[in-house]
Amino acid sequence: METSSSATSLSQLTSGEVHVIVGPMFAGKTTALLRRIQCETDKGRSVAVIKSNKDTRYGLDSIVTHDGAKLPCWALPDLLSFSEKLGTEAYEKLDVIGIDEAQFFGDLYDFCCKAADHDGKTVIVAGLDGDYLRKRFGSVLDIIPLADTVTKLTARCELCGKRAFFTLRKTDDTQTELIGGADVYMPVCRRHYVSGQVVIEATRSVLEKQKVLCDSYVEATSC
């Protein structure tokens, strides 16, 4: 009897999904996310979009692509508080949840598990799979094992026009989270990523040496 009850309970669960869109900056990840969300809306499904409140480049009330397309969204510091902020009844009626700039959410894995596995939601995630050093960025790679589909997008190398898989940071800032656009980052192919990193490291080394010499000069003249 208990086995039959468990089977009935399982059969009544709505199956959720997780779809992941990754790639370097300027690869069209947000555009792809918006396209998927629009497709779900056209099917008559209830949708909501979330982005990190760390990204204030185009305002907090919408996600915006680099070419200007936008969609209203929830700007939140974390994902697990979303159902509470939206309201239990509204959350239960929701079919699809889109997440942009997913690398900024530390609770991404836990949220996707809860939303898809237990709440039956379709979760569409867009984010960077690597930082400017080509190392893992946030929890985006952690949800790959949860995903029904994974789409790896590429951009166009700003220096040669070939397919760009990587993001090169133009500045000498070294923190992982540095929000910016074309003024700070550019998409590059493997060859120009490697050569670009060499130039940036050499420039940083020269600047550091100049700073040391300048500091030494200031100390000497103040004596």
What is the CATH architecture of 159-223?
Answer: 2-Layer Sandwich (3.30)
Catalytic residue among 84, 101, 158, 208: 101
Profile the chain (223 residues) by mean pLDDT over runs of 10 residues. Answer: 47 79 95 94 96 79 74 93 94 96 96 97 97 95 97 95 94 86 91 83 59 53 55
Q: Would you list which residues are annotated within the binding site for substrate?
A: 185
Active site includes 101?
yes
Give the other-Cβ count within 10 Å of 48's Cβ.
Answer: 19
The amino acid sitting at 146 is: L
pLDDT at 71 (0 to 100): 84
Q: Would you list which residues are annotated within the binding site?
A: 185
* Residue limits of CATH 3.40.50.300 in the chain: 15-153
pTM above 0.85, yes or no: no
pLDDT at 8 (0 to 100): 43
Sequence-distant contacts of 134-138: CB under 8 A, at least 24 apart: 134/166, 134/193, 137/103, 137/176, 138/102, 138/103, 138/104, 138/105, 138/106, 138/108
Sequence-distant contacts of 118-122: CB under 8 A, at least 24 apart: 118/16, 119/16, 119/91, 120/13, 120/14, 120/15, 120/16, 121/16, 121/94, 121/95, 121/96, 121/97, 122/16, 122/17, 122/18, 122/19, 122/40, 122/45, 122/95, 122/96, 122/97
pLDDT at 213 (0 to 100): 54
pLDDT at 7 (0 to 100): 47
pLDDT tens, residue by residue, 26-52: 999 999 999 999 999 999 999 999 999
What is the CATH architecture of 15-153?
Answer: 3-Layer(aba) Sandwich (3.40)
* Residue limits of CATH 3.30.60.20 in the chain: 159-223
pLDDT at 11 (0 to 100): 42
Task: Measure the CA–CA gap between 155 and 221, rounded to whole angstroms.
Answer: 51
pLDDT at 103 (0 to 100): 96
Q: Which residues contact 80 (CB under 8 A, 6 or more apart)?
A: 107, 110, 111, 114
